[in-house]
Structures are given as C-alpha cells and as structure tokens.
Structure 1
Amino acid sequence: MKIRSILAYSALACGATVTVMSAPPMSRAAVTTQSAITVAQQTDLNLVGEGEGTLSIGTRPSQTVTFVTVTSRPSQQVEISLRLADGNLQRWDGQLISRSGSEAQVRLTSAGGADATGTLTIRYQNSTLISLSGSGTLDGQPLSILFTVGDDSVSRPPVASTVTLAQQGQGTFGLQGRPNQAISFASVTVQPDDSAELTIRLVDGNNIAFAGQQTRKTAEDIVLNLTSSGNADAQGPANIRYGSNNSIISISSNGTLDGQPFFIQFSGQQASTQPPVTPPPTGAIICTGQMQNGWQYRAEATNQRFTQIRWERSGAEPTVSTLRFYRNNAQGQPVYRGSFRAATQLALVDLSGGTPRQGSQISVGVEEWGWSRGNCR
C-alpha cells in the first residue's frame, strides 16, 4: 500500500530527521503444488479490518467498502465478507493458494450464487487485515477491489501494493496470418515484485493473457516487457496510459507471439476528459506550490480542513485529488491523504498545526515524486 511510504516520511516534511492476477500460466502448476504444502502447515486465517475501499463490478457504479472479514478452514476454503457503505453485505468464496506470515493469495470461485474468477491478495498483521486487493470476473463482468484499513500505522515500513487497472473500450488485436479481431475490454495487473499480466477480451468472448515484467511506472503510464502468453513465447513492449479510478486510457503493444508478429491497439472509454472545477468557497485558504517534476498544485482548505488538491502541468490534463483527514503526526500537525489519479498515493501535512491561514505553509508528498513546500494565502 503506497500510502505507507508517503506517510512514514511525514516527519520529513516538518523539518525533522525521519518517509492481481495469477502467476504466468507456465509456472502455475509448480507454484500451486509448493504453496499447498506450506499453506497446510499454517493455522486458519481469522482477519478483520475496518477502513475504506472501492468495489467495481462491470458498468455498475463503484461501491464503497467499509468493513472486511476473511476466514479460512483446514480444507483451504476461504470466505470473504464485504460490508458496503449502503449496509449491504457481500460474501465471496475462494481457495487459499499461497500464504506467508503477512500475505495470502486467494483464488475466487463464487460470490453468492454467481460464478467468480480472479486472484485476491490479502495483507495482514496478526489478526488485523491491512489490505485486500485484486481483480477478476463476476458472472462474466469485470471485477476489481482495493480496500485498506483506516488505522494503518504511519510507522509501518513501506510495502508495495498490487496495481490493478481495468477498462471497457474498443481496440484491435492482430496476429500475422489471421484476421484482425476487435477488443472490448482490457485489464492490467502489476504485482509488488513487478511481475505483470495484460489481458484483452475479444468481442467473441475469448480472453488473451500476456505475462511479463514492469520496467517503468509513472503517475501517468506503465511500460511492460511481455514474455509469454499461456504456453507460447511472447516478446515485445506494452505501453499503458492510465487515468482516474484505475481506468485505462490506451494500450499500445507490438512484438512476436511464437515467432509471429502481433499488435494491440486499445482505447478505453473515458467518461470525461476534464475534472470538475469547483470554485473555492468564500473564506477558503489556498496553498500553492510545485513538485520537482513540473506538476503545480493548488490545495484548498475550508473550515480549517484541507479538502482537495488541483494539479496542473503544461501539456497534461489537469486532475483533482480528494483529501481525507488521516491523523495528527507526532508534532501535532494534521496529515491528510489521497491519491493522484487513483493510482499514486499522496499526503499533505498542514504545518500550521491545524489553523491554515495566510502566510502558513503545507508540505505535499507524492509517491516517487518526493516532497514540496507550499505557501498559503
């Protein structure tokens, strides 16, 4: 969960000295056999966590998850319960496929009376759930979830999280010697060790999955080096541009598949190209600054609480990050957290101690960008 690496360094901003997809198909059988032996030697899981997360299923509006429980049995069957913000409860069933002292992976098998597929990554400490993330399908519809506990410790060492992107759209898959085929959906999953999987769904319902390795990631794009597709060899890069809400803006890839040239061109359906601009209310405090990579920010505080950051940079679409109060740090300064385009975690530290005003300062930190001081007016 990237927010840890930002919040763990919150004290730096204050002037102190202190910061899902499955494995590639060719290796799956070996991994499952070894994992089953390890899992069988460990006690049952009984995890609970209260926090905030997002559940997305197909084209339905995303739902907020507020509470999660995970329980397993000696048979390695796992039950996951999700409490939604509207009070409804969802129950998923799966199979425990691997487990360590702080992380487990579960293969989804069903959700209530519906069929389900995909892989979930569960991170925990003792009996406390830290995060739940993953993607797959529910009755044939794309599914993704990202949930983190609300009281995650700022002193916990940074732990990388799984990145899951998914988007409906239009595109073309071409393979030499065969007719081009239309693409209707694409997903990308990058594990903490940078292993990755790119999956495209054709309009005839068939899926084509590529395994590979992430070689670059910024707040706007990901580059993968593709290495296989099922039992076939694959070679070539894949460039993925992504946006808010874990959406895919575009995918461009070309290379060889079992020695035959192939290409992928995909454009995701975007609901809006510009974020809404809300004029600051009367009496609002505005704090501005600039990150080292050129992104300028404008943080707004109302009633002495910061609510959002608007980002702008020449040649790039502006975006807005919503802020949530997290906690006060050791110096009594409020810490807020949010994300840049729902993928890169960020934190804002109110250096005024909770009374932002003209002349006070903030410190803004973004994962992989570093920190910047902003001035308030």
Structure 2
Amino acid sequence: MKGLIQLMMIIACGSWIVVEENLAIAKPTYKSDFSIVQNLDNTAELSVSQEGTGVYSLNNRFRGTITSVSVKVNENGETELIFRNNDQQLARFKGQLIRRDPYGIRVNLTESDISDASGVANIQYSSDKSLIYSIFVAGTVKNQIFSINFSR
C-alpha cells in the first residue's frame, strides 16, 4: 500500500503511551534521495534526504513549517535526524535505532541541539526504500510536549 501515513496519539499519564493508527493515503509529490548499504554483519546503514511538508509544535501550538529532512543510521544503529524549516534553520536530533522493519524505523531520541529534548521518532518508507512517506516525532523539550509531523 503506497503512501500510508501514520498518526501517533500520545497520552501522558505518568509514563508515555504511544498508540498508532493508520489514517490516510498520500500521493508522491516530492523527490527523494534514498540509499541503503548492506555491510558484512547483516546490518544496514541508511541515508535519506527528502523534501516535503511538515510542521512542528510545542504544547500543541503550531510553531513553524518544515521543508526538508535528512535521516542517517550507521551500522551500530546510531541515528541522526536533521529538520530544516522555511528560514533554513536546522534542528538536529540524535538517537538509537530501536526497531526496523521493511517499511520503516523507530528511533529513541537521546540528544538534540534543542536543550533537554527527548522522545521517539517513527520514519515510514516504501517497501522498495525509494520514498519516505512520513516522519513523526513526539517528545519533550524543557519539560514541554513537542511534536514534528513531516510527509513528502
């Protein structure tokens, strides 16, 4: 199924609970630069850059628009996500790969150039790994809830 977008709902009751719902189908509208490299110990490095449309919010209030994203995963599962906004400013996140399947990855975010940021990122791509369908990030920054929702 091409273009499947996942929406994440977050419920805060002491600890975080993440619920996934498949919601919509999107058509390809932007270019993708996706590469996957298989190394000898059967783990795959991943590097992808994608133009698209996204938003980020803090405490459920719109804060800005995202125009492109870059995702890199090394052979140890160390991951870097870089988001670019309309003003060409960058937001960088680092984390550890916690799940990989043929259609996407999930990353536990551990560092950011935004102080005290943490959370989970879900990246969904096509089965042939040629397009990123969506990226959703949910977490906290300075004890406030933030989210990033990006699609191509």
Can you give the 5+ residue segments of structure 1 that lack an aligned partner in the other structure? 1-57, 63-142, 149-155, 269-377
Distance across 1 between alignment mates of 2:106 and 2:112: 17
Q: TM-score, normalised by structure 2?
A: 0.68
Structure 1 residues 160 and 180: CA distance shift in structure 2, 3 A: same
- Select the residue among 130, 148, 152 that pairs with 1:264: 148
Structure 1 residues 144 and 222: CA distance shift in structure 2, 3 A: closer
Deviation at 1:166, TM superposition (A): 2.0
Matches within 5 A, 1:322-361: none
Contact between 2:96 and 2:107, CA under 8 Å: does it hold in 1? Answer: yes
What does residue 226 of structure 1 align with?
A: 109
Distance across 1 between alignment mates of 2:37 and 2:121: 28
- Matched letter for residue 229 of structure 1: S
- Matched letter for residue 151 of structure 2: S
What does residue 105 of structure 1 align with?
A: none
Distance across 1 between alignment mates of 2:65 and 2:100: 27
Structure 1 residues 262 and 222: CA distance shift in structure 2, 3 A: same
Matches within 5 A, 1:153-302: 157-176=40-59, 179-230=62-113, 232-243=115-126, 244-268=128-152
Deviation at 1:159, TM superposition (A): 5.0
- Matched letter for residue 255 of structure 1: G
Distance across 1 between alignment mates of 2:98 and 2:138: 16
Can you give the 5+ residue segments of structure 2 that lack an aligned partner in the other structure? 1-29
- Number of matched residues? 122
Give per-residue Cα distances to partners, 1:20-79, cap 9 Å, x unaligned.
xxxxxxxxxxxxxxxxxxxxxxxxxxxxxxxxxxxxxx95xx9xxxxxxxxxxxxxxxxx
Give per-residue Cα distances to partners, 1:176-231, cap 9 Å, x unaligned.
49752011111211111111011111011111111111100000010011112126
Distance across 2 between alignment mates of 1:162 and 1:213: 13
Distance across 2 between alignment mates of 1:170 and 1:216: 25
Q: TM-score, normalised by structure 1?
A: 0.29
Contact between 1:166 and 1:246, CA under 8 Å: does it hold in 2? Answer: no
- Matched letter for residue 68 of structure 2: F
Query: What's the Cα RMSD here?
Result: 2.9
Distance across 2 between alignment mates of 1:225 and 1:160: 18
What SS class does the counterpart of residue 186 from structure 1 fall into? strand
Contact between 1:164 and 1:246, CA under 8 Å: does it hold in 2? Answer: no
Question: Percent identity between the aligned chains?
Answer: 33
Contact between 2:34 and 2:47, CA under 8 Å: does it hold in 1? Answer: yes
Deviation at 1:158, TM superposition (A): 2.9
Contact between 2:52 and 2:67, CA under 8 Å: does it hold in 1? Answer: yes
Moved beyond 2 Å, runs of 4+: 143-148, 156-161, 175-179, 244-247
Deviation at 1:167, TM superposition (A): 1.3
Q: Pick the structure with more helix per residue.
A: 1
Structure with max Cα Rg: 1
Distance across 1 between alignment mates of 2:60 and 2:136: 20
